[in-house]
């Protein structure tokens, strides 16, 4: 590609998720320009095309009414087939993000030159009723030399700015911007003013002072939660050269509520500069510099083996348990208590076996007469005389058995009565009964193996829910008892659940959520507003806009939020009017009206 519209392409400056930026020349006047393009039809649905076109024209409309040396000037906005583009002022220099990515930290002079110029430009835009909403290092460019305090700041990318003066421009329903630098009210989908940009500028100042962003996390929801609910680490913890005065200035700049912050961006930068001047020996830090700061390192602690989980303690042997718990008297005492508990458990299980009387020897049962029936005298009998050795070996067992049954051994040594023997036959063969039964009687009864305890069911886990805008009703699995207002947390059992988020004026959103064995964080749910958005342009631009004969506060190019229906759109300029009827439904509708001169 060598041309876009009338502009001649010189080279590519960069690529991003939204499109490509080129260095180009306007041949009519020989002026260098930067061309930001978006391929609307490249692997995108019609809805995505409308959304990208909306962002591009909003950027042009927002920045087009601003004329300030600290803000990139917009020259032109057009669409060529599936290619939409903006021609803007060309800035020959790095972004602040590139400057902060260098190995060396910015100097104090550079820091306050950049922060001060950015604050002046932002306050100017705020006076015009425009909030940038995406202040970050990548959108702050430095023109000219960057050494010392030289270099001119240029703020770019007003693509998500909000025109607060227009009542019909209400695109609050989506989280836009870079989360790490966004204000609490912005991430919650609330209305914003200039103090939101002041918060973002304070985040940049925190990063320049400490080398770290104040709010970080692996997931978007983690970052959003920290911005809304958690205070950042005190600056002196990351950079010990920063004193209490600097911390006080930063704390106010990063206040959660807009009313707790500075009234203007310049008030913030001036207060911070005075606090730094009152702090001896302070310095800035490069990105990641706090990680190598020696004052932050803690003395290494001796390794201590953590005790295993309870179910592993029940299955692990005593020797292994003692080997893992040699870290002092307390852990040794704990091991002894565990061993004592196990011994007590074994004793408890073995108690029935220990207390149970020894089973009578089968040979003794054969030799001894059966117990007499109730009410009859016991029959007399004695052990056989033919095996005296066996009789002696069994004397100890025969005595308790006889005593228990009340039987008496006959003095004459005669064999027991045959009828008594028939009453209770021997269950074991008579041959060598003592030798066969004795080992079995002496062998201890095995302790039954206990099956491992069943693993308890997984505990319910909290599910953090964030919507944009905030204040929506969230329920899990249709259970009204789980209802909460976003941002909020619902406790749910592990497994698959259905999350429903609703809010008046927005489409109902339904999402499947899988809850595991740990707290769950789901991406922020962006609610889609009911109705549609009309993106209106005219040739020439700068025309007043009327909807069904009612004049609005906007001029073309304009973005108008309308309820579903059919409208008569009229544009007016230099005493001339042009009208067109358009049907607006859910989503974005693009309309271009030409004046007939």
Residue 450: per-residue pLDDT? 63
And the tokens for 269?
A: 């930068």
Residue 257: per-residue pLDDT? 95
Domain 1-90 bears CATH identifier 3.30.200.20:
yes
Give the span between the Cα atoms of 201 and 137, in whole angstroms: 9
Q: Which residues contact 92 (CB under 8 A, 6 or more apart)?
A: 143, 144
User: Among residues 26, 123, 134, 197, which one is catalytic?
Assistant: 134
CATH topology of domain 461-526: Immunoglobulin-like (2.60.40)
Low-confidence ranges of the chain (pLDDT < 50): 162-176, 295-327, 353-438
Each domain of the chain, given as residue ranges in start order, spans: 1-90, 93-290, 461-526, 532-594
Residue-wise pLDDT for 133-152, tens only, equals: 889 999 999 987 655 556 89
CATH topology of domain 93-290: Transferase(Phosphotransferase); domain 1 (1.10.510)
Residue 293: per-residue pLDDT? 53
- Catalytic annotation on 574? no
Half-sphere exposure of 60 (CA within 13 A, CB side): 28
Residue 46 · residue 63 · CB < 8 Å: no
532-594, superfamily in CATH?
Carboxypeptidase-like, regulatory domain (2.60.40.1120)
Residue-wise pLDDT for 364-397, tens only, equals: 444 444 444 444 444 444 344 444 444 444 444 4
Same fold, 461-526 and 532-594: yes
Burial annotation 438-452 (CB, 10 A radius, 16+ → b, else e): eeeeeeeeeeeeeee
Q: What is the pTM of this model?
A: 0.53
Residue 416: per-residue pLDDT? 46
Nearest to 256 by CA among 230, 217, 237, 235: 230
């Amino acid at each position: 590609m060598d041309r876009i519209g009338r502009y001649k392409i010189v080279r590519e400056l960069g690529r991003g998720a939204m499109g490509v930026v080129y260095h180009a020349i306007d041949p009519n006047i020989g002026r260098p320009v930067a061309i930001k393009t978006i391929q609307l039809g490249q692997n995108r649905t019609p809805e995505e095309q409308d959304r990208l076109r909306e962002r591009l024209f909003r950027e042009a409309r927002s920045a087009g009414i601003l004329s300030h040396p600290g803000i990139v000037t917009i020259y032109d906005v057009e669409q060529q087939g599936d290619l939409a583009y903006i021609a803007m002022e060309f800035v020959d220099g790095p972004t602040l993000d590139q400057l902060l990515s260098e190995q060396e930290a910015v100097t104090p002079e550079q820091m306050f030159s950049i922060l001060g110029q950015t604050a002046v430009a932002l306050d100017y835009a705020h006076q015009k009723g425009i909030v940038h909403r995406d202040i970050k290092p990548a959108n702050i460019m430095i023109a000219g030399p960057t050494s010392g305090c030289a270099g001119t700041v240029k703020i770019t990318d007003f693509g998500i700015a909000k025109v607060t003066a227009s009542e019909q421009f209400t695109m609050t329903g989506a989280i836009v911007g870079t989360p790490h630098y966004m204000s609490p009210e912005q991430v919650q989908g609330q209305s914003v003013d200039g103090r939101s940009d002041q918060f973002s500028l304070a985040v940049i100042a925190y990063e320049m002072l400490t080398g770290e962003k104040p709010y970080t996390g692996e997931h978007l929801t983690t970052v959003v939660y920290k911005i809304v609910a958690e205070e950042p680490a005190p600056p002196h913890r990351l950079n010990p050269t920063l004193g209490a005065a600097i911390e006080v200035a930063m704390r106010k700049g990063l206040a959660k509520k807009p009313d707790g912050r500075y009234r203007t961006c310049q008030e913030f930068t001036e207060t911070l500069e005075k606090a730094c001047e009152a702090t001896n020996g302070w310095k800035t830090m490069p990105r990641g510099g706090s990680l190598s700061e020696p004052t932050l390192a803690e003395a290494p602690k001796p390794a201590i083996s953590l005790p295993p989980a309870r179910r592993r303690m029940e299955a692990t042997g005593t020797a292994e348990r003692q080997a893992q718990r040699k870290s002092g008297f307390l852990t040794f005492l704990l091991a002894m208590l565990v061993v004592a508990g196990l011994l007590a458990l074994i004793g408890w299980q073995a108690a029935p076996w220990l207390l149970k009387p020894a089973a009578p020897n089968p040979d003794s049962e054969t030799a001894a007469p059966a117990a007499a029936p109730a009410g009859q005298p016991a029959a007399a009998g004695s052990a056989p005389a033919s095996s005296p050795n066996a009789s002696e070996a069994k004397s100890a067992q025969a005595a308790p058995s006889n005593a228990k049954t009340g039987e008496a051994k006959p003095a004459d040594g005669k064999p027991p009565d045959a009828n008594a023997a028939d009453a209770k036959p021997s269950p074991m063969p008579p041959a060598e009964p003592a030798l066969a039964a004795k080992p079995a009687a002496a062998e201890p009864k095995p302790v039954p193996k206990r099956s491992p305890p069943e693993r308890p069911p997984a505990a319910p886990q909290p599910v953090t829910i964030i919507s944009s805008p905030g204040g929506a009703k969230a329920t899990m699995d249709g259970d009204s008892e789980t209802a909460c207002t976003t941002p909020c947390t619902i406790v749910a059992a592990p497994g698959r659940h259905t999350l429903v988020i609703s809010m008046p004026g927005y489409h109902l959103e339904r999402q499947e959520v899988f809850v595991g064995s740990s707290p769950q964080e789901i991406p922020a749910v962006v609610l889609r507003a009911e109705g549609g958005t009309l993106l209106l342009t005219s040739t020439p631009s700068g025309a007043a806009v009327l909807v069904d004969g009612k004049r609005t506060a906007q001029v073309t190019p304009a973005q108008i939020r309308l309820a579903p229906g059919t409208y008569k759109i009229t544009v007016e300029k230099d005493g001339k009017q042009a009208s067109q009827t358009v049907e607006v439904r859910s989503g974005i509708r693009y309309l271009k009206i030409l004046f007939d001169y």
